[in-house]
Amino acid sequence: MRTLSPRAAFAAIVAAFAVTMIGTTLPTPMYGIYQQRFGFSLSMSTVIFAVYAAGVLVALLVTGRWSDAVGRRPLLLGGLGLALLSDLVFLAATDTWVLLIGRVLSGFSAGVYVGTATAAVIESATPAWKDRAPLVATVANVGGLGLGPMLAAVLVDLLPWPTQLSFVVHIVLVLAATALVWRAPETVEVEPGARLQLRRPSVPGPVRSTFVAASIVGFAGFAVMGLMTAVSPRLVERAVPGAGQVLSVLVVFVLFVASVGSQVVLNRMQLARAVNLGCGLLVLGMLLLAVAIGTDSLALMLVAAVASGAGQGLSFSKGLASVLTRTEPDDRAGLTSAFFVVAYVAISLPVVGDGLASQKWGLGPAGVWFSVAVAGLAVAALVALVVDQRRVEYA
């Protein structure tokens, strides 16, 4: 098969990144259906998310630096293969334990992809796109996460086979992405005789201080995203009884759209200003969410999603870009994987905590307290950033 041109290869890797991330959030609007069919509890919903996050973290820790040694393409193709296996497992789901296997496989695919694909997008960018490549990688990642629930919700609401059709559509997308990546050229020089080794993701000394600052902001942003993703579908159902699947995932979709939009519109904003503004918006979004939960206001939930999504997008993209632009090509995948280890720890803690708290105290009180707690985390991140910025300024 003929190798793709540089421009087509760049587009193919971006598309494969987005397709893989779509698959990780595709089941979101179906959990209510699965819960009715299989009879699992709210705490089991938390376990289902937790095993996904565990799958992501295991894959990041195990495979984080593999593509630096053996090349990007093998890992990209492997991640697509894991996404395909996850889809097939969900198609055959007849019990809760099958869902758990599907989510673990989905987590593996995301964990393999986030570091490798981010590096591959940056490296495959044509000269005209070099400066914007980190932004493109982030948009593919976050945009895919946002498209997954909305695509599934539309298919569930409007077409038959509510728990099968979405995965059939995704299988077609995965196969198309696999064919494209197969034809894309390798973006790094592979060492002759290089073998896979179990080396944890690492942070080179020269970028360690930058990485720490970016990780603080990334942790706060992904904690916000995790909380909003976890609680908003149930909160919408409580605010608007009988809401369809599209409406139930609307807050999540707006969150991710705002994240992507803020990155695109404010891409040229100076780094320190962008991350400070991002943290401020995270605080505002969480406080608005707490009020929205207390008043069962869908409109206020949407406003909170806009503020939170914009804050997460700004803080995440600028933080990651500040690290990657100072990193040697051979270290990019491992460093990106280390960054996402922090992010996925952050995104999982509020989900698990809120699920357990909801079982004991109810959805509303748990959601309010976790919103306030995550707002406090964002305030702490902002304070740490300002202190670090002044230290660097006066050093």
| Residue 112 one-letter amino acid | V
Neighbours of 242 (CB within 10 A): 6
Residue 193: the pLDDT is: 59
The answer to whether position 270 is within a domain reads yes
Kindly report the backbone phi and psi dihedral angles of residue 126, in degrees, each rounded to the nearest multiple of 5, phi listed first.
Answer: -70, 165
Yes or no: say if 197 and 70 are a contact pair by the CB < 8 Å rule: no
Residues 214 and 345 in one domain: yes
In the block, which residue shows the tokens 């989905």? Answer: 106
The answer to whether position 193 is within a domain reads no
Rounded Cα–Cα distance for residues 30 and 32 (Å): 5
Neighbours of 168 (CB within 10 A): 12
Residues 267 and 234 in one domain: yes
Rounded Cα–Cα distance for residues 362 and 366 (Å): 6
- Where is the domain boundary, 153, 186, 219? 186
- Where is the domain boundary, 186, 215, 244? 186
The answer to whether position 248 is within a domain reads yes
The answer to whether position 199 is within a domain reads no
Structural tokens at position 14 = 């971006």
Residue 389: the pLDDT is: 66
The answer to whether position 23 is within a domain reads yes
Rounded Cα–Cα distance for residues 229 and 249 (Å): 9
Residues 64 and 110 in one domain: yes
Structural tokens at position 191 = 């060492």
The answer to whether position 150 is within a domain reads yes
Rounded Cα–Cα distance for residues 81 and 275 (Å): 36
The answer to whether position 219 is within a domain reads yes
- Where is the domain boundary, 157, 186, 215? 186
Residues 384 and 268 in one domain: yes
Give how far Cα 161 sits from Cα of 26, 42, 91, 93, 99, Å: 14, 24, 10, 13, 17
Yes or no: say if 71 and 124 are a contact pair by the CB < 8 Å rule: no
Q: Which of 288, 246, 177 is nearest to 30 (CA)?
A: 246
Residues 313 and 234 in one domain: yes
Residue 195: the pLDDT is: 64
Residues 208 and 182 in one domain: no
- Domain harbouring 80, CATH code: 1.20.1250.20
- Give the structural domain span for 37: 1-186
Classified as helix, coil or strand, 184 is coil
Residues 48 and 112 in one domain: yes
Residue 338: the pLDDT is: 78
Residues 266 and 154 in one domain: no
Give how far Cα 300 sits from Cα of 150, 188, 236, Å: 20, 47, 11
- Number of domains present in the structure of the chain: 2
Neighbours of 383 (CB within 10 A): 12
Yes or no: say if 10 and 120 are a contact pair by the CB < 8 Å rule: no
| Residue 2: Cβ-neighbour burial (10 angstroms; 0-12, 13-18, 19+) | exposed
- Tens-binned pLDDT, residue by residue, of the chain (395 aa): 568 899 999 999 999 999 999 999 999 888 888 988 998 877 787 788 788 888 988 888 888 777 777 888 999 999 999 999 999 999 999 999 999 999 999 999 998 888 889 889 989 999 988 888 888 988 898 889 889 999 999 999 888 999 999 999 999 999 999 999 999 998 877 766 556 666 666 676 667 777 777 777 778 788 888 777 777 787 888 888 877 788 888 888 999 999 989 988 887 887 778 878 888 898 999 899 999 988 989 999 999 999 999 998 887 777 777 676 667 766 766 677 778 788 878 877 777 777 777 777 887 888 888 888 888 888 887 787 677 667 656 55
Residues 133 and 229 in one domain: no
Structural tokens at position 113 = 């992809």
Yes or no: say if 243 and 353 are a contact pair by the CB < 8 Å rule: no
Half-sphere exposure of 293 (CA within 13 A, CB side): 26
Residue 21: the pLDDT is: 95
The answer to whether position 26 is within a domain reads yes
Rounded Cα–Cα distance for residues 66 and 194 (Å): 10
Q: Residues, the chain, total?
A: 395
Yes or no: say if 351 and 107 are a contact pair by the CB < 8 Å rule: no
Yes or no: say if 13 and 120 are a contact pair by the CB < 8 Å rule: yes
Yes or no: say if 204 and 335 are a contact pair by the CB < 8 Å rule: yes
Residues 135 and 212 in one domain: no
Rounded Cα–Cα distance for residues 154 and 30 (Å): 11
Residues 252 and 390 in one domain: yes
Yes or no: say if 118 and 141 are a contact pair by the CB < 8 Å rule: yes
Residues 278 and 181 in one domain: no
> What pTM was computed for the model?
0.84
Classified as helix, coil or strand, 351 is helix
Rounded Cα–Cα distance for residues 282 and 87 (Å): 33
